[in-house]
Amino acid sequence: MVVQGAQVPTQKQDVSHYSEVNKCKTGGVLSTPAMRHLGKQYDINLNDVRGAGKDGRVLKEDILRHAILKGINKDSIGIENADSRDQFLKGEEDHSYVPAELGSQHGDKTVPLRGFQRAMVKTMSMAAKVPHFHYVEEINCDALVELKESFQNSNTEPGVKHTFLPSLIKSLSVAISKYPWINSCFNEDSMEVVLKGSHNIGIAMATPSGLVVPNIKNVQSLSILEITMELSRLQQLALANKLNPEDITGGTITLSNIGAIGGKFGAPILNLPEVAIIAIGRIQKVLCFADDGNAYPASVMMVNIGADHRVLDGATVARFCNEWKQLIENPELLMLLMR
């Protein structure tokens, strides 16, 4: 119903009225009366506050954050009573939760990289320039699971915990003996490849000080038990940040056990001057299908071999992986070939 003599406002006038009431500018800063009141309470010039709202609009959390950065330590910051909160939020959309604790506001922090982390920046930057290719395979680890349980049940060494990794390391060494180019290093300056006689297998380890890759020397001459004990020694030293220079130099190939953390697939980057690196995922129970179509459960592990394509080709890596897979799936073959 229209009252005679009354003037009906247009939609454009409503928008203009809303803007004047709720989107006022103070010195060029888009804000609301409630936010200007809050700024005055903490003696803050809104021109100094960076607004996170639409079109640079100053929000409540912007003012509180600015107050903390200025060192204003008032009990009322973020702990208003119900009446003042209603006043501050009148006409203001509550965009995000503002914690009540003064110390809950976080700013940026600059952290210098040192030690292993700084070394990783250099080595990974160099490795990123090398042409990589990756070869992925699934390996049935049912026999490996049984072997590990057998080792653990008949364990006579105090303080020794048997895991899958030592058997994987030993079988890797046996496979390398058949494909020595996997265990080589490339010298780009002289354009030479050095086929390494020793199998110094590096194990990537995440430590509080960053990523480090100590290596087990002469794996080709060690038993699985000796590998287990040496791996334990390196892990303890790495966690304590007490690795010797000899422990982290001279590696010939690297194994990254991402499955120990929980991942099942990774695309590793070379640890130069090595020409191959292998990431192994966690062993998990999955449903598989035989050639006749029958389903059966199996413990399966994903492996991803990263290779330097300047030295290795896909066929060589595939054949090597097939050899390693056969040794893992049939540990009795590993026993036959071990020295």
Give me the active site residues, please: 309, 313
Tokens for 228, please give them. Answer: 């287990």
What 8-state DSSP symbol labels residue 307? E
Tokens for 178, please give them. Answer: 């058949």
CA distance 229 to 157: 10
Residue 278 forms beta bridges with which residues? 255, 305
CA distance 64 to 70: 10
CA dist list (Å): 130 to 125, 302, 303? 10, 24, 21
Question: Is the torsion defined by CA of 110, 113, 117, 123 positive or negative?
Answer: positive
Q: Is 177 helix (H, G, I), strand (E, B) or coil?
A: helix
Tokens for 14, please give them. Answer: 């409503």
Centroid of chain to Cα 147:
31
Angle between the 224-239 and 165-178 helix axes, to the nearest 10 degrees?
120
227 CB-near residues (< 8 Å, 6+ apart): 166, 169, 170, 216, 219
